[in-house]
Structure 1
């Protein structure tokens, strides 16, 4: 057993994506504001009751920038904030739908059920909120119920410590329901008051020595991938990388240097440590971090053992290491995965005292198994400082109180900031090499390798290349600064976190749109039209394929379901259950049939009746027609990898309805190639397109998206994410079907 006390370094990582669109000024999602009033200030304040508990808080500069922006009286607030201020009688139906969809985004058991009125409103809306039920749910809610929902959503996100101490908020808790417009304003004002205290509190506590503040690269990028995306193959040799290698260590350096400068300006001293975004490290990134003057970094335990090329041992894990670089030595500490994940994912369902006791027992067990040494060991517990607590009763307050009190009164345990420990006990062990990887499986697959993630990297590379070309020709420093900021934002890790199959959220669509808007803004700022592909979602959310084609078909193109057999062998996609948040709750495109003969692709679209919904909808969106002129409506097919588009006017014509075929030019405009009368629209829309017109080869996979447009405004896209994939027949197509 080690005779020295076991040191514990808690590192709480505080981060949110960059939600603001720099051109429009719109903040898409409210999560900076809501986590700020629930997690950031109270996590520091709780330490005032435990002066012997010293901790490290990792504050990402882009998070601080967003907090500062929100408390600015002149700033444009997030959509949820603005809709909270609106009186229910002034809310449009889409705004009411937005509220019903988004104002229950809180942990139902820990944040909604404690408020009886809030939970009653959840039950009234329905626990499973589908687009089909949306309109009826809006009608069920009274104006008073909308007012109560607006307030309770914002009140529930305020940490209990503030709700209990503030007299105004305590009165609202007592009141429970039937809130007023003044009550809503009070809650939002209290939120801003809380947010204004965050940065002064952290600075004061750092200056007093209670805490250390470390940083991440400014917009939370994966530094090793910025330096050279090929490093992903070193961590995972089988990975499929983007077509364009991203190799810009100068961007990694900029993100680090901006973070150091930003921190120094606000805290009056340079930072000593860094949690590289997602614990992502490589030797090239370590060089840049050391060059910036930082003294330590933290990453995951698996990185350590892959670097040492040995199996895990506690003696190896619970000590710091030094990585010698040309620029000097860089100290590294390594995250205890079990203890960190226990707080993040396990203890939330436990009794608070039992959970804290279990962690203390584990720490004692670690100390008991470690061999004697002159230098005390260090256990690093590193995790999100925000996302875990909504799953704990009372925002985790009791758990933290039991834990901090136990450590404070235990002579065998001692908490310290990372720098406190390293200054007293400098690393004695050298790390000869640093394995490239992140805290997730010691590789980078969460951020690169999937088709969607690779596409995002390719779009980023192209936008950056265009900006570099502009930079060589122009000298407007203000425009360049804004455009480069958009690039740096798009380099953040958050966007690719949500692409691919690994992670999903209720806000996938918003994250996708926000990433693409940051890149589109680069083009807009330098006076160029954004590429059309930036208007197409990257995130794949497939329309439901009900069946593949069974064999060749040859339907009569007359706009009618002429006989039972003409589409029987076709493939079928259910497009009505997409559940997105476009402009309307009912989809215009209900079903898509697709099939072919040896030389022609046949498509059938079952649409809602024109007279029912399309005319008023198109009139509302386009805004420049009288009497809902249906001739302004069109269905457009985009052949994504061909640079081709077919546009069909949605006018009733049983046969010989003319469609136009376009090709995309180098300047991103559409040039008409030809017209064909191979369409018809009556009860259904039918279309025949020869393979040679769309450059389709035998056995080739076509990727399509369809849009319904009104005077050029897209009112529906199918599928919302990704593309419809149709495999054209090979030479032995039907014989293969028969053999199966």
Structure 2
């Protein structure tokens, strides 16, 4: 609708529904044999990103969002909370932070500090802090003369480095309000054991408070909490490797024709996720964000069988699906098909499907970090307004922006504080943008005008394909290793050789092996040190599984799969949709 005033034409904005979904996920970093956490990313993102994200929502009570927690992340957060409650810390880096006499630590622990405590985006998380930057410069100067020169760095250096690393990983909301953080950052160096213990206590308090804070927001109706199959498996591939060819017909596949019993394994992951979510939050989840937004018709059927009301994926998946559904029709402007719910015809037609706006999601994930926070927030809102202006009367658009809730902020000044604060403030007071959740959107409509989708082309939120997880030589080799382990698992579980407790441990270990993350990181385009870490974690998981099955570990499991060598955007933790 338009009206003319003087020489200008003003197009009235149709009201739109806006759903913002933050996906919170980390793979399982625990070694089940030793109980140790092999990498610190769960607790670091907890004190920085999960803390800041809930703080922004608390500060803007009229702002709604969907927050998706993968159960294996919640498992680890609860594990850390228990460690702080008992005082038995099983994370090596946290143990070092609390170690009274750093003069006596082993050479391997010294190396762990050096190797870990510069892992961040230096532009936003080191350069603003001269005392931290000075520690880095000292390390690099000595290392330039040979690794042996690092022995000259004292116990006080280690203490200061450990404190600064954790201060840099502390959320902006904490930094602005917590006296301990303010005092330590002002002090700058010479940190005592008492200082480190105080910081450790703050870390424990932040982690222990996280799940209750999100649950409180959910109980108030401000946010909807959704879930993902428990250990974040790439569900369509577990069900059928050949689903990768829906979007890439010539894709190379593993030697094994299929993952043994994959459909049943996906159902187990989903049932476990629903049970753990209900136990933690006191309500059954209405919807599921699939791992990596990866969907297929058989997977949606499993969701329908478990009573899930909604799911979501990427815009490219919808475009591919429309091309498959209507091969003789030209794909129209995205504004005419993207901003509406869909239902896939067949056994999964009880699941309402939404597809994210890739452009807006990628703007938050990759571009707005380079902008002033207010400018970025206003640009996003103006983009939403344009969608409303371009909508036809009566269209009632629903716009989905979906992305990681943790990985982008490392690249924003102040951990994205100003962007998120301004965005939420504008949206809270906007007359024509109705911020909602998928559950509320579905509940508010007596009849959902969902478009029929005859064919769902399997794919993910990355490129609309599964190329990030299968097809590459290294990734396919990893799938073959996993398939071989699953064959052994099936035989041993059917043999009656294991006790009930041993079977439970083996099942949990298998579930961890089935995570999509191991396949994400394999490949020459990823950084070598990250590839090495995740390659080792995957093979350690497989080796532990063979041990629990009381079988020898195959030699192929002991050999590295991939080596890396690339420098991807954002360190490879996120990928653009296209």
TM-score (norm 2): 0.90
Task: Give me the whole-angstrom Cα distance separating, in 1, the residues matched to 2:553 and 2:454.
Answer: 46
Q: Aligned-pair distance for 1:172? A: 1.1
Q: 1:29 is matched with which residue?
A: 39
Quick one: which of 50, 61, 68 aligns to 1:51?
61
Matched, 1:448 2:470: yes
Q: Deviations over 1:366-401 (max 9, x none)?
A: 21111111x521110000000001111111111111
- Residue 120 of structure 2 corresponds to residue 106 of structure 1: yes
What SS class does the counterpart of residue 529 from structure 2 fall into? coil
Structure 2 residue corresponding to 1:470, chosen from 467, 492, 502: 492
| 3-state SS of paired residue (1:19) | coil
Match 1:422 to one of 442, 454, 458: 442
* Deviations, residues 665-699 of structure 1 (Å, cap 9, x unaligned): xxxxxxxxxxxxxxxxxxxxxxxxxxxxxxxxxxx
Segments of 5+ residues of structure 2 without an aligned counterpart are: 2-11, 324-330, 566-578
Question: Distance between the aligned counterparts of 2:563 and 2:187, measured in 1?
Answer: 45
Is 1:405 paired with 2:431?
A: no
Match for 2:360 among 339, 362, 382? 339
Quick check: 1:25–1:76 contact (8 Å CA) kept in 2? no
Secondary structure of the 1:213 match is strand
Closer, same or farther in 2 for the Cα pair 1:275/1:505, shift >3 Å?
A: farther
Q: Quote the residue 2:326 is aligned against.
A: none
- Post-superposition CA distance 1:255-292 (Å, at most 9, x none): 11111111011111110111100010000001001111
CA distance in 1, matches of 2:141, 2:365: 26
Q: In 1, distance between residues paired with 2:449 and 2:195?
A: 55
CA-CA distance at 1:435 after TM superposition:
0.8
Q: Which residue of 2 aligns with 1:695?
A: none
Match of 1:233 in 2: 245
2:169 and 2:116 map into 1 onto residues whose CA distance is 13
Whole-Å separation in 2 of the counterparts to 1:400 and 1:341: 15
Shift in CA distance, 3/169, structure 1 to aligned 2, threshold 3 Å: closer
Instruction: Supply the distance in 2 between the matched residues of 1:257 and 1:271 (Cα, whole angstroms).
Output: 11
**What is aligned with 2:568?**
none
For residue 313 of structure 2, what is the aligned residue in structure 1? 299
Match of 1:186 in 2: 198
Is contact 1:37–1:158 with CA below 8 Å preserved after alignment? yes
After TM superposition, give the deviation of residue 294 of structure 1 in Å.
0.7
2:527 matched to 1:504? yes
Q: Distance in 1 between matches of 2:241 and 2:558?
A: 25
Q: Greater relative contact order: 1 or 2 (C-alpha under 8 angstroms, separation 6 or more)? A: 2
Matched, 1:524 2:547: yes
Count the aligned residue pairs.
539
C-alpha distance in 1, partners of 2:403/2:529? 23
1:137 maps to which residue?
150
Provide the C-alpha distance between the structure 1 equivalents of 2:131 and 2:557, rounded to a whole number of angstroms.
42
Question: What is the match of residue 369 of structure 1?
Answer: 390
Whether 1:387 and 2:407 are equivalent positions in the alignment is: yes
Instruction: Please tell me whether residue 317 in structure 1 is matched to residue 330 in structure 2.
Output: no
Deviation at 1:411, TM superposition (A): 0.6
Larger radius of gyration: 1
Q: Secondary structure at the match of 1:10?
A: strand
CA-based RMSD of the aligned residues comes to 1.8
Q: Is the 8 A contact 2:175 2:181 kept in 1?
A: yes
**Is the partner of 1:7 in helix, strand or coil?**
strand
Matched, 1:169 2:181: yes
Moved more, 194-203 or 312-321: 312-321
> Which residue does the alignment assign to 1:78?
91
- String of CA shifts for 1:346-375, please: whole Å, max 9, x gaps: 0101111111111111111121111111x5
Q: Distance in 2 between matches of 1:303 and 1:311?
A: 15
Larger strand percent = 1
**1:700 match:** none
- Mapped to 1, the partners of 2:244 and 2:118 lie a distance apart of 38
TM-score (norm 1): 0.71
Larger helix percent:
2
Q: CA deviation at 1:151?
A: 0.9
Q: What secondary structure, in the 3-state scheme, does the structure 2 residue paired with 1:165 have?
A: coil
Residues 312-331 of structure 1, C-alpha deviations (whole Å, 9 max, x = no match):
42121011112244365110
Any idea what the Cα deviations from partners look like across 1:535-559, whole Å, max 9, x if unmatched?
Answer: 11111359xxxxxxxxxxxxxxxxx
Alpha-carbon separation, structure 2, partners of 1:357 and 1:124: 42
2: CA distance between counterparts of 1:341 and 1:149? Answer: 34
* 8 A Cα contact 2:126 2:133, kept in partner: yes
Distance 1:439 1:133 in 2: 44
Partner of 1:435, secondary structure, is: coil
